[in-house]
Amino acid sequence: MPDTTRFQERVYAKLKKVPKGKITTYGDLARAMKSSARAIGQTMRCNPYAPKIPCHRVVKSDGTIGGFGGAVRGKKIKDKIALLNKEGVHVKRGVVLNFEKVRYRW
């Protein structure tokens, strides 16, 4: 079993509720967890369960992709976009298309 904190496990459990074809934001998830967007970002960066725990479904509040696996550009970001596209969330020039339509809120 990976070395994770109770907080991380709670965040991962909450994130599993975001269905395929939807995204959430670091801020939305932070509010649902009564935490901060920065803490959510750090938790996503350390996700040992990806993609089973779908950290690729977490984006910035303006609909831009944000980071993935500790990266903000390059192959990992392309992988995040590919995972989102496969699930029906389309990204163009680093921005989620139809952002509000595919945004999951608690």
Q: C-alpha 72: how far from its chain's center?
A: 13
- How much of the chain, in percent, has pLDDT values that exceed 90? 90
Domain count for the chain, please give it.
1
> 95-96 and 91-92 as β-strands: parallel, antiparallel, unpaired?
antiparallel
CA dist 105 → 42, 49, 61, 92 (Å): 20, 22, 12, 22
Is position 1 within any domain? no
Domain containing residue 17: CATH number:
1.10.10.10
pTM: 0.94
Q: Which domain holds residue 29?
A: 6-102
For the segment 29-70, what is each residue's pLDDT rounded down to a tens digit?
Answer: 999 999 999 999 999 999 999 999 999 999 999 999 999 988
Distance CA 83, CA 51 (A): 9
Question: Does 78 map to a domain?
Answer: yes
Q: Is 46 a catalytic residue?
A: no
For tokens 């932070």, name the residue.
Answer: 30
User: Which residue of the set 55, 58, 81, 89 is catalytic?
Assistant: 55
